[in-house]
Amino acid sequence: MTTIDWQRTVLVLFPPDALERHLCSPVLDMLDRHGFSPIRYEVLWHRPPGQDAWQERNITSVWKAYFYRQVDLVFDLGPTIALLVEDRRAADAPGTGHTRLRALKGASDPAEAAPGTIRRDLRGINVMLDIVHTSDSPEDSQHEASVFFGPELGRPLSGGLAELRDLVGLLQAGIPRETREYDDVLIGLRSKLIAAVWPELSVLGRKLAPGLVADPRPGAGAELAALLPGGEAHPLAELMACEFLPDHPKTDLKQAAARMAVYGLTLDRWEHVVLQTSMIFPPLRRTS
């Protein structure tokens, strides 16, 4: 049985969005600069088998069931890296490793995270796509390690940080780097919708549409939808008008995908997860 000093050891997760965006390496750099050394790891290639146990408190006390299903969307994107990191400064740094890491990662909502934190500086998308998870206490680390690693507590990193960097490099090399934030995804969706219906637009519509596509104002999508022949009756109008924000009318992306398919359009996995989760959890905007 592996012996771990849970007062000095913190569980860290790089969820699939971190790998998709090739942000694991810069996060490792920040961990190292703040005195944290990885000692054990595991790559989870599929939805973590203990995911429900990990989110038990949120399922039962915090989130509604449909909120929790957003977690599935995130983990369906690809592999997750689970780590145990040891606090090298435990003896002489103020606070425990858990409190220092909690401060380093920043608020769960990236828009509320302070400058200098992981989630703000590396620009997490929203609460669900927030780059990194760390356990908040020694008890949480021990519990969550059992969820993600099982009784063996993962694989030892005999080569330390260099070995982990090599593994992360290989994982990220197999995934095209995703650079789109919420605003990029929204503009991209509206751009392809407008391009698909371009022949249907009036002369005035073709003049106004390009500027509205890139307009960050809430309501710009509704103005775009009004340019469509038939207005709200057009099959793409609801999708065009949707802001994909919590305090705005929502749209069913499965139904939207069927309507898009008529025009030969699709949503890729990243577009789907960003738009779906942002309808529930406010995204970090480009102006933030």
Quote the strand ranges of 51-196, DSSP E: 80-87, 133-134, 155-156
CA distances from 232 to 104, 221, 239 (A): 46, 12, 10
Residue whose tokens read 């500086």: 121
- 169, two tokens: 């490099």
Residue among 22, 98, 133, 272 flagged as catalytic:
133
Tell me if 41 sits within 8 A of 157, measured CB to CB.
yes
Quote the strand ranges of the chain, DSSP E: 9-14, 36-44, 80-87, 133-134, 155-156
Amino acid at 190: R
- 201, two tokens: 């637009």
Q: Name the CA radius of gyration of the chain, rounded.
A: 21
The reply to whether 46 belongs to the active site is no
Q: How far apart are CA 113 and CA 60, in angstroms?
A: 26
Region at 178 (left for phi over 0; alpha for psi -120 to 50; beta for the rest): beta
Residue whose tokens read 């099959």: 235
The phi and psi torsions of 243 (rounded to 5 degrees) equal -90, -15
Amino acid at 119: R
Residue among 4, 10, 2 nearest 89 (CA): 10
Helix axes 97-105, 24-33, angle to 10 degrees: 140
Which residues are part of the catalytic machinery? 133
